[in-house]
Amino acid sequence: MESALFWEWVIKSVVILLIMLTGFAYVTFYERKALARIQVRIGPNRAGPGGWLQPVADGVKLIFKEELIPAEAEKVTFVLAPIITAVPALIITAVVPWGETVSIFGRQVSLALANINVGVLYIMAVASIAVYGIVLAGWSSNNKYAMMGGLRASAQMISYELALGLAFAIPVLLSGSMNLLEIVQAQKGFWYILLQPVGFVIFIIASLAEVNRSPFDMPEAEQELTAGYHTEYSGMKFALFYMGEYIKMIAVSSFAASFFFGGYSGPGVDRWPWLGPLYLLLKIAAMLFWMIWMRATLPRFRYDRLMAFGWKVLFPVAFADVLLTAVVLVLMPQAAGAALFLPLLVVNAVVFVLALALLSMGLGGKQHVA
Amino acid sequence: MTLDVILFFILALIAVASAAGMLLSKNAVHAALFLVVNFATLAVFYLILGGPFISMAQITVYTGAIMVLFLFVIMLLGVEKLRGEDKFPWQIPTAVVLAVALLIEAGYFLFFRRVPVDMSGTASLPETFGGPQAIGSTLFTQYALPVEIAGVLLLVAMVGVIVMTKWNEE
């Protein structure tokens, strides 16, 4: 391998990691500000002009906090768990394309870091590893609340991973590729949200559950489990869990943007390739706002309802959607983009009715209280 | 080439050490974690051999799904600590005999029945080798029947589990 290419990859990886880490710090600020506005408050406004240095102050505070390890905890797993949570969150965005080729100092540089043909599978693989961090944190703390949080987290993440995988299959089917760059390029001019609104809804619900965001933040439901799996964590170890959660939010938003909103593409991106990253960032910010909005609006699910919803509603609906979409694609092998709009609209309507029927059957009747 | 060899030996060491750790650890959760490391190392081996699809499938299915379920069950039942007494006293001698037999077999093939490996074909692998499209079309044309049979088998297992859980409610 050419050494310049190697250094190009190293530099690109470092830049993406730095974007993710700064992004994490400012997403926490964004969330606190947005939540405050929704609740008619002002939010953090003391550190720096308009509160913009608040993330720095938080970081400094967390670094200097005392690190506690419970006497009866499993030391090695206790320390490993936050690392296992944070690392997959950091590496999962490697496959998201930030744009096409740009020239920096006369050198042609592709803005897609890992342009691999199994991109979607890579996301699934890394996301499935992230479960370990939470489960191990719960178990190694040797605390009943933490243990319950860890068990809930693993059950929830495994259950919603199925619907999430099927939701990933929809853009893969429509574009005929598992490469995220090709999925984005296939959406030029016609975003998949227009073809598959129901698929998008399945995707965002499942991904909210996958990153344990409200209303699916069962593993850390404070009135039942104090703080769930991270009850015993403090200082930087807690900060790593916090970081994992927010970076996963950014990652999920970038996937939603790439799979359903045309990723980096937008008006004028062919002439000025540097607009690509800007468009992607705007789309990510919009998705993040939606997540914060959900947190401010919806109360938490009850745990048995959460599982019933995942298995009895979301999974069959996702399955029917993938199946019917595949049938349409087999029947119309030449069609792409706008030509698929009407047939897929029918599919989406059928699936939507199915979803309503399952909702009233699966969640409306008598519940077994666990 | 030398980089590949160095990488191979590092990974082999990790794989063997994690396998040994799984066998020797007294805590079921630790044993499961060693197995996870072992599976992940295997996935990297597939990646080195030029099979990105199977590598990612290995991580998603074994590391991500099956082992999480294992851990879940171990934690739910609270059986982390293995009990001291040996329930199967014949297990260790049998394992030793089988391991020696396997080593003798492998040694025999390695040193006496040496087949010259043709390395000339490896440099000219097609671009799509081991990719999702190549594997998909092979699975659903050449191996369509085995795939369908495996699918039915899994469905039967799933239906069986549901029937067994519903049995007790009546």
Full DSSP string of A64-129: HSPP---TTS-HHHHHHHHHHHHHHHHHGGGG-EEEEEEEETTEEEEEES---TTHHHHHHHHHHH
**What is the ipTM, given to two decimal places?**
0.76
Q: How many CB atoms lie within 10 A of CB A359?
A: 15
Of A122, A127, A158, the CB nearest to B69: A158
pLDDT at B123 over 60: no
Of A121, A131, A157, the CB nearest to B56: A121
pLDDT in tens, A117-140: 788 888 888 888 888 888 888 888
Judge whether B62 lies within some domain: yes
Chain B contacts of A155, Cβ < 8 Å? 72
Tell me whether residue A290 is exposed, middle or buried, using C-beta atoms within 10 angstroms of its C-beta: 0 to 12, 13 to 18, 19 or more.
Answer: middle
* Closest chain A C-alpha to B100 CA, distance in angstroms: 34
pLDDT in tens, A58-101: 888 888 888 787 887 778 888 888 888 888 888 888 888 887 77
Judge whether B112 lies within some domain: no
Indicate yes or no: CB of B68 within 8 angstroms of CB of A131.
yes
B64/B141 same-domain check: no
* Closest chain B C-alpha to A54 CA, distance in angstroms: 36
pLDDT band (50, 70, 90) for residue B121? low
Of B33, B75, B133, the CB nearest to A151: B75
- Number of structural domains in chain B: 2
The pLDDT of residue B115: 62
| CB half-sphere exposure, B10, CA atoms < 13 A | 8
Give the residue from chain B lying closest to A116, CA to CA: B52
Indicate yes or no: CB of A121 within 8 angstroms of CB of B29.
no
Residue among A79, A81, A85 at smallest CA distance from A24: A85
Chain A contacts of B127, Cβ < 8 Å? none
Judge whether B6 lies within some domain: yes
DSSP single-letter state for residue A48: S
pLDDT in tens, B12-59: 999 999 998 888 887 888 888 899 899 989 988 888 887 788 888 888
User: Is the CB of B53 inside 8 Å of chain A's CB atoms?
Assistant: yes
Average pLDDT over residues A346-353: 82
pLDDT band (50, 70, 90) for residue A370? very low
Indicate yes or no: CB of A128 within 8 angstroms of CB of B132.
no
The pLDDT of residue A176: 81
The pLDDT of residue B150: 93
Whether A333 and A252 have beta carbons less than 8 Å apart is answered as no
Residue appearing with tokens 């899994």: B154
Read off the tokens for A154. 């693993």
Judge whether B168 lies within some domain: yes
Judge whether B87 lies within some domain: no
Of B64, B75, B128, the CB nearest to A128: B64
DSSP single-letter state for residue B123: G
pLDDT at A208 over 70: yes
Give the residue from chain A lying closest to B67, CA to CA: A132
* Closest chain A C-alpha to B67 CA, distance in angstroms: 9
pLDDT at B170 over 60: no
Please report, for chain A, the start and end positions of each structural domain, with discontinuous segments joined by +: 3-362
The pLDDT of residue B119: 54
Average pLDDT over residues B163-167: 81
Give the residue from chain A lying closest to B34, CA to CA: A77
Average pLDDT over residues B111-132: 63
Angle between helices A341-362 and A315-331 (to 10 degrees): 160
* Closest chain B C-alpha to A47 CA, distance in angstroms: 42
Cα–Cα distance measured from residue A156 to residue A141, given in angstroms and rounded to the nearest whole number: 20
The pLDDT of residue B120: 54
Please, which residues bridge with residue B27 across strands?
Answer: B81
Q: Which domain holds residue B147?
A: 134-170
* Closest chain B C-alpha to A174 CA, distance in angstroms: 14
Cα–Cα distance measured from residue A145 to residue A230, given in angstroms and rounded to the nearest whole number: 9
pTM here is: 0.82
Tell me whether residue A130 is exposed, middle or buried, using C-beta atoms within 10 angstroms of its C-beta: 0 to 12, 13 to 18, 19 or more.
Answer: buried
Of B52, B56, B68, the CB nearest to A135: B68
For position B34, which CATH number holds? 1.20.120.1200
Chain A contacts of B56, Cβ < 8 Å? 118, 121-122, 124-125
Read off the tokens for B136. 């998909």
Look at residues B82, B106, B124 and tell me which one is the last residue of a structural domain: B82
* Closest chain B C-alpha to A149 CA, distance in angstroms: 12
The pLDDT of residue A194: 80
Judge whether B110 lies within some domain: no
Name residues 14-33 of chain B within 8 A of A (Cβ). 29, 33
Mutate to test the interface with A, among B4, B59, B76, B125 (most CBs of A within 10 A): B59
User: Is the CB of B161 inside 8 Å of chain A's CB atoms?
Assistant: no
Phi-psi category of residue A99: left, alpha or beta, with phi > 0 → left and psi -120 to 50 → alpha: left
Chain B contacts of A131, Cβ < 8 Å? 64, 68
Count contacts between A and B (CB, < 8 Å): 70
Indicate yes or no: CB of B53 within 8 angstroms of CB of A121.
yes
Read off the tokens for A190. 């016609």
Of A118, A132, A151, the CB nearest to B132: A118
Give the residue from chain B lying closest to A120, CA to CA: B56
A179 Cβ neighbours under 8 A, 6+ residues apart: A115, A116, A117, A119
Whether B71 and A135 have beta carbons less than 8 Å apart is answered as yes
User: Is the CB of B131 inside 8 Å of chain A's CB atoms?
Assistant: yes
| Cis upstream peptide for B146 (omega within 30°) | no
* Proportion of chain A above pLDDT 90, given as a percent: 0
Alpha helices by DSSP H, listed for A141-269, are: 144-175, 180-186, 192-195, 197-210, 222-225, 235-260
The least confident of A48-52, B8-12, B138-142 is A48-52
* Closest chain B C-alpha to A138 CA, distance in angstroms: 10
B76/B138 same-domain check: no
pLDDT in tens, A246-299: 888 898 999 998 888 887 877 777 777 777 788 888 888 898 999 888 888 888
User: Is the CB of B71 inside 8 Å of chain A's CB atoms?
Assistant: yes
Mutate to test the interface with A, among B2, B47, B60 (most CBs of A within 10 A): B60
B2/B78 same-domain check: yes
The pLDDT of residue B17: 92
Of B105 and A364, more confident: B105
Judge whether B109 lies within some domain: no
Indicate yes or no: CB of A154 within 8 angstroms of CB of B33.
no
Look at residues B82, B106, B121 and tell me which one is the last residue of a structural domain: B82
Of A167 and B121, more confident: A167
| Cis upstream peptide for A215 (omega within 30°) | yes
Look at residues B40, B58, B82 and tell me which one is the last residue of a structural domain: B82
Whether A146 and A230 have beta carbons less than 8 Å apart is answered as yes
